[in-house]
Structure 1
Amino acid sequence: MAHDQFGELTGWDLEGFHNGGDTELWKRLGSHVVHESDDERGDIAGVRFAVWAPNAKSVQVIGDFNWWTGDAMHIIPGSGVWGAFIEGLGEGTLYKYRIETQDGRWIEKVDPMARFSEQAPANASIVYESKYVWSDDDWLEQRRAARAHAEPMSVYEVHLGGWRRGKSYLDLAEELVSYVKWQGYTHVEFMPLAEHPFEPSWGYQVTGYFSPTSRFGKPDDLRYLIDRLHQAGIGVIMDWVPGHFPKDEWALGRFDGTALYEHADPRQGEHVDWGTYIFNYGRNEVKSFLVSNALYWIDEFHIDGLRVDAVASMLYLDYSREEGEWIPNQYGGRENLEAIDFLRYVNRHLYERAPGVVMIAEESTSFAGVTKPVHEGGLGFGFKWNMGWMNDTLRYLQLDPIYRQYEHNLLTFAMVYQYSENFVLPISHDEVVHGKGSMVNKVPQDDWRKFASLRAYYSFMWSFPGKQLVFMGCEFGQRPEFNESVSLEWWVTELWGHGGLQRLFRDLNHIYRDNSALYELDSEPAGFTWINGDDRAHNTLAWVRNDSEGNHVACITNFSPEPLNDYEVGLPQAGAWEEILNTDSPIYDGSGEFGNLGEVQATPEPWGHFPARARVTVPPLGSIWLRRNQVS
């Protein structure tokens, strides 16, 4: 039975929600198990329900407790929020809201603030209260003191349903954690884990923003997975989708019969390409909803960072629209000023509220200042995916080696703008789906050249300024495109080429993490010095990575099928340089025929702008890394 007097919210509780400043909205709206004291009846337990539906004529809460027939809710004066306390209910209760619209229609909606939901295709919201006790205090303390830009970041992007099909959060807490730790990645990045009805959307069309998908278990099971990752020293980034949401009739769209979370005008409120709605970033309640959602994942699930999906679609009013299909801003421009203000608000709040978290933008244009601080006029992200680097280098990789000399600038152009933003270099799921082919099948010619080229490419990537991200399966050269409905082809890691590539990734990660010259000054010009960026005749690039202590790693990559013998390079110091990586090593299924016997001697003879020079052997379609530490 519903009781208005128990567990009730007040207009004062909701003031922050209405002015856009409530950053913990999940504590107020949604369903909550509460205990109330009554003078006559003593302690009373039940569930408090609260939902924002300002234009509804009436609202009911329906569920398995009332045979889905409806208990009336009352509106909290002046708030647009409807509430009810129903005695005797507890965790596990299934419920929805039945809303009467102004034109007399009745519609059923799931709870926008639900913290647990039924598995698709069912969609009822479920009352859930976490009882999880965390064991990652050491990790969180370390995170608070982190300097992300000056630390290694090697990210393994994962779709949980396709990594090993049928595994639960609890299974993955053993198997995924063990694998990522063995491979040496510093972070995992989960494709969206918020509830979504359509599996092939990979989570990018969200219907339950506060509800971890129940496909793999309960919310506390996800907490356990994240806790185990933290205990293993692995950070957790999650994809977050504040750019749009799907039109499923039972979800956020036209929630109370009107455009509540979205713009009413389709020129502002709909993505025609994606068949989705766009959030109304200028509405205070929507801002409270979204900023609370961002903090929710960080606060309640200890997520270490959010990678914000499709930022470009948020920044531009004319994104994927023809003339006349969009409305200019108040100054006549194409920038979405409300979305820009919202992103600044979210980034500023999270960096202040949870020091050490990282906010990462997937932004595919040259919008200025994506990673510049808000107080300097930027959007306030910590990092931005370098889509230009990704597109250019993949174009180069797909060329037959004989033509690469004519497109050499595809590998060097990214250095022209390298220090305009703080970059992540992404080889993500987007590059191995929808007919683009797997990474191994992008490379021309036979298997020897395919795998040698991939080894060279990834060593080039791991030594280039910026943090790294690679999608699951790329690390062992899976041949089919990504398919969320089946597992990765783990069996191929036992085969030639595939196993060697997987072992190379392990060594790339460990060498990278052990050498601060490869990451400390990623965002500063002092961290990178060209040796030779113009040797297009040999399809070869050479540079030195530096740290603040005077340590150096020289990185030379040969994208030609011809070996380079006695190849002369300049180096910043004379003396012995240790060969710490050779992608042609037999352990990586290389030939083992082209190397430097573990060391190169640099003589104190000037070479270009360097005080020393050396002659090296660089394998065909291969890379070598040479290290000179101050202590050596």
Structure 2
Amino acid sequence: MALRDTSIPEPSGPVPSPTAPALSPEDRGRLLAGAHHDPHALLGAHPVPGGIVFRALRPFARSVSVVIGGKRTALASEGDGLFSGVLPLDAIPAYTLHVAYDGSEQEVHDPYRFLPALGELDLHLIREGRHEQLWQALGAEPMTHEGVAGTRFTVWAPNAQGVRVATDFTYWDGTQFPMRSLGASGVWELFLPGVGEGTAYKFEIHSRYGHRFLKADPMARRCEEPPNTASVVTASHYEWGDAEWMAHRADTPVHEAPFSVYEVHLPSWRPGLTYRQLAEELPKYVKDLGFTHVELMPVAEHPFHGSWGYQVTGFYAPTARLGSPDDFRYFVDACHRAGIGVIMDWVPAHFPKDDWALARFDGDPLYEPGNAQRAEHPDWGTYEFDFARTEVRNFLVANAVYWCEEFHIDGLRVDAVASMLYLDYSREDGQWEPNAYGGREDLAAMAFLQEMNATVYRRAPGVVTIAEESTAWGGVTRPTDTGGLGFGLKWNMGWMHDSLEYIAHEPVHRKYHHHEMTFSMVYAYSENYVLPISHDEVVHGKQALVSKMPGDWWQRRATVRAYLGFMWGHPGKQLLYMGQEFAQGAEWSVEHGPEWWLLDDGYHSAGDHRGVRDLVRDLNAVYRATPALWQCDTRPEGFRWVAVDSADDNVFAFLRYDAEGRPLLAVSNFSPVVRHDYGLWVPGDVAAWQETLNTDDPRYGGSGVTNTDPVKPEDGCVRITLPPLATVWLTPFAP
């Protein structure tokens, strides 16, 4: 923040100023302790009888002088780093401070001569909990204020007795920069001239209990790379190149469009790559496989790598492990320019207890409920957010908007929604209190989710919000104006659980579990669903997808292929976790990521793994080219069972229709036997059917039992050959 830094003092010394009136012992003590609510009333320049008093707080300075019109006037030392003096002036002039330390001198602007750099409208919106761009009001904002370049620091800490800015250049001592309280808003503010991008900082909080501690900025838009924990002043200089994508992403509602998602943990997809390096590889890979979107496990800053990003401390900062915020913008931009949408996991349910972060931020429960039992998340050892508090709700709603507006994110998959909705989630009797109506629903969390969804959809056209909600809560994807939560899509955890249970059984036993594959259609249109085979299903002893299957290696791969064909044909959008697209056998490791070596030429089974990946590519290609598979996902008229009760055969067959009534016939045989001349009812207006996709094709590693010629119905029935452990798609033959 130096305007001039020299080691040789000017030949002529500064003129001494008359002695200033002493501060009261109370003001002096509170100022030096960092517990004063209005340091600007004590420091800086103020009229007094006989002129203008100048007072500066510069710990460890040898001398401080006021510089007016090039003339220096020395201030007298009051001890403890305080310097003051009175100049016989009628009004406060433009001035700077000349500060001399042992071995160096600086001429700087005085932070305590500036008016607040935060406006009344911002404060009003913060108090109301309606500041939808909160990141522009709170945190560290590089700016020019009253003609001087610097950074405005603001933080919400309503219970604090005092707040100071501590930086790397003050060696994390906040004494020099106490902030002022901006009244009932609970916001503290200080403009530091000369401080710019790259400065590391924290807020030094003086609690009402007399404790003093350093906290990272809750609104920091950049953080130090863990394990370091400081916030970093930043501003975006990125120039986006995705105007066409942004202009058209809202053209078709998501639930009526192809939506096939590749879920990725960015740090481990290709370990060691940065955001910019990932931008060169990941969009290309995802586009080649035909996915429409990539979903990122949380990228917000988190201290513990092993949490996979789900224990967030920096809600407004992309993790510094992979680069800067603008580097992350580059990654999103690259995806958009490749035609790939970007969904981000968002974690508003809880936060970790690290003492330098959100927990008891100003010495009292602030972001978490004041009731300790209510604040504790029983499963994860974290704190839950206080959704009933206006400012906390605003912090989270604005955070959802922030990722969409500042980083052009196309969707937010909201983690652990069920844990937010139920007061008794993972709690025993006596560990929770019912709501005002005697129920177990968290009314504040409901209202927060409704507000978040309504705000995001209003401000960011084309963005989709997706709920990971594992219960039968009604109306998760119903609009908020009809009482729903307002999400666009919901993960279908029931389908995931039931279908994985079914395929884990030996084929001879599957007939007893047939209903596990058909039950999903009983409720398929109660919500707008995504079918997720996510990271949660391939860790913690659950095994990788191919390893869940019974039988030998060929049967396992065949069942995976049949299952993926069934999944892509089933109503609902698709999501597949990285590594499962090529049937890796090991569980996902956060340290090593996907086992790419399985695809290497030198590996003896590389062709097997490539075959599954080729199938995923073709599934996506046919899927995107066939509106019957996605256009009517949320409408009952888009689906019709053909064979729903063929339990003894382990066969499932259904029709999918597009908005024009054009069909696709999907048939899955989960038996390891070929079924010749298998009869299926089909619509009478289709003259002949052709095989569009067969997961038993030799190209995918199959046995090659295919229907090469068009098949004509007879008496309303089509007879086809069903390959073993395979799914077949047929469409009307077009000569």
Normalising TM by the smaller chain, what interval? over 0.9
Residue of structure 2 equivalent to 1:441: 547
Equivalent residue in structure 1 for 2:348, among 234, 238, 242: 242
Q: Does the alignment pair 1:327 with 2:436? A: no
Query: 2:472 aligns to what?
Result: 366
SS in 2 for 1:13: helix
2:133 to 21, 24, 37: 24
Deviation at 1:67, TM superposition (A): 2.2
Which gives a bigger RCO, structure 1 or 2 (Cα 8 Å, sep 6+)?
1
Match of 1:575 in 2: 687
Q: Tell me, yes or no, if structure 1 residue 602 matches structure 2 residue 713.
A: yes
From 271, 279, 285, the equivalent of 2:391 is 285
Q: d(CA) in 1 for partners of 2:599 and 2:625?
A: 25
Q: What are the superposed Cα offsets for residues 491-537 of structure 1, whole Å, 9 maximum, x if unpaired?
A: 21241321110000000001000000111000001111111110011
CA–CA separation in structure 2 for the residues paired with 1:276 and 1:216: 25
Shift, 1:598, TM fit? 4.3
Which of these residues, 281, 299, 321, is aligned with residue 193 of structure 1? 299
Q: Identity of counterpart residues, as a percentage?
A: 53
Q: Distance in 2 between matches of 1:365 and 1:97?
A: 40
Inter-partner Cα distance in structure 2 for 1:233 and 1:34: 35
Deviation, 1:576, is 2.1
Residue 506 of structure 2 corresponds to 400
**8 Å Cα contact 1:500-1:587 kept in structure 2:** yes
1:31 counterpart SS class:
strand
SS in 2 for 1:228: helix
Runs of 5+ consecutive residues of structure 2 not aligned to the other structure: 1-109, 601-605
The residue number in structure 1 matching 2:669 is 558
Matched, 1:502 2:636: no
Compared CA separation, residues 588 and 111, structure 1 to 2 (3 A)? same
Q: Which segments of 5 or more consecutive residues in structure 1 lack a partner in the other structure?
A: 38-42, 606-611
Q: Distance in 2 between matches of 1:547 and 1:105?
A: 65
d(CA) in 1 for partners of 2:252 and 2:643?
34
1:511 to 2:622 alignment: yes
Counterpart residue identity of residue 139, structure 2: G
Matched, 1:382 2:488: yes
1:129-177 per-residue CA deviation (whole Å, 9 max, x = no partner) reads 0001111111111112221111000000000011110011001111101
Kept in 1: contact 2:122–2:131 (CA 8 A): no
Which sits farther off after the overlay, 446-455 or 65-74?
Answer: 65-74
> Which residue is equivalent to 2:231?
125
**68-77 vs 559-568, greater mean Cα deviation:** 68-77
Identify which of 34, 55, 61 aligns with 2:165: 61
Amino acid at match of 1:614: V
Aligned residue for 1:157, secondary structure, equals strand
Q: Partner of 1:584 in structure 2?
A: 696
* 1:175 and 2:281 correspond: yes
Instruction: In structure 1, give the amino acid aligned to 2:161.
Output: K
Which has the greater radius of gyration?
A: 2
Q: Does structure 2 retain, via aligned residues, the 8 Å contact 1:7–1:36? A: no
| 1:40 matched residue in structure 2 | none
Query: Where in structure 2 are the equivalents of 1:71-82 lying within 5 Å?
Result: 71-82=177-188
Contact 1:4 1:84 in 2 (8 A): no
- 1:131-530 correspondence runs (5 A): 131-494=237-600, 495-530=606-641
Is the 1:4–1:74 Cα contact (8 Å) retained in structure 2? no
Contact 1:569 1:613 in 2 (8 A): yes
Say whether 1:104 aligns with 2:215: no
Alignment partners' CA distance in 1, 2:351 and 2:505:
38
Cα distance, 1:8 vs structure 2:
1.8
Q: Following the alignment from structure 2 to structure 1, what is the Cα–Cα distance between the partners of residues 142 and 116?
A: 9
Maintained 8 Å contact 2:117/2:145? no
Q: Aligned to 2:720, which of 616, 624, 627?
A: 616
CA separation in 2, counterparts of 1:586 and 1:4? 77
State the TM-score, normalized to the length of structure 1.
0.96
C-alpha deviation, 1:12, in angstroms: 3.5
Higher mean C-alpha deviation, range 156-165 or range 570-579: 570-579
Per-residue deviation, 1:226: 0.5
The SS at the match of 2:542 is coil
One-letter amino acid of the counterpart of residue 576, structure 1? A
Which of 103, 113, 117 lines up with 1:8 in the alignment? Answer: 117
8 Å contact from structure 2 (residues 640, 654) kept in 1:
yes
Corresponding letter in the other structure for 1:45: A
Q: Distance in 2 between matches of 1:418 and 1:144?
A: 25
Contact 1:150 1:519 in 2 (8 A): yes
Counterpart CA distance in 2 for 1:90 and 1:342 is 35
Shift of 1:351: 1.0
> Letter of the aligned partner of 1:85 in structure 2?
F
Matched residues in 2 for 1:253 and 1:509: separation? 44
Distance 1:354 1:565, change over 3 A: same
Partner of 1:609: none
How far is 1:5 from its partner? 1.7
Q: Secondary structure at the match of 1:542?
A: strand
3-state secondary structure, aligned to 1:128: coil
Q: 1:543 aligns with which of 633, 645, 654?
A: 654
User: CA offsets, 1:270-308, max 9 Å, x none?
Assistant: 102211111111111011100100000000000001000
Q: Secondary structure at the match of 2:469?
A: coil
RMSD of equivalent CA atoms: 1.1
Moved more, 311-320 or 478-487: 478-487
User: Cα offset for 1:206?
Assistant: 0.3
* Contact 2:686-2:732 within 8 A present in 1 as well: no
> Within 1, Cα distance between the matches of 2:295 and 2:229?
26
Query: What secondary structure sits across from 1:578 in the alignment?
Result: strand
Query: What's the offset of the Cα at 1:6?
Result: 4.7
| 1:66 partner letter | T
- Match for 1:165: what amino acid? P
Aligned with 2:183: secondary structure? coil
For 1:419, what is the secondary structure of its paired residue? coil
Shift of 1:65: 2.4
Q: Letter of the aligned partner of 2:689 in structure 1?
A: W
Deviations 1:521-562 (A, max 9, x none): 000011111111100111000011101112111000000001
> Secondary structure in 2 aligned to 1:3?
helix
SS at match of 2:621: helix
Q: Please give the secondary structure, in 2, of the residue aligned with 1:22.
A: coil
Conserved? CA contact 1:574–1:613, under 8 Å: no
Aligned mates of 1:189, 1:62 — CA distance in 2: 37
- For 1:169, the aligned partner's letter is Y
Q: Corresponding residue for 1:627?
A: 731
Equivalent pair of 1:433/1:481 in contact (CA under 8 Å): yes
Kept in 1: contact 2:491–2:529 (CA 8 A): yes
* Contact 1:30–1:51 (CA under 8 A) maintained in structure 2: yes
Q: Partner amino acid for 1:453?
A: T
The alpha carbon displacement at 1:487 in A equals 3.0
Moved over 4 A (4+): none
SS of 1:324's equivalent in the other structure is coil
> How does the TM-score come out when normalised to structure 2?
0.83
Deviates more, 1:361-370 or 1:260-269: 260-269
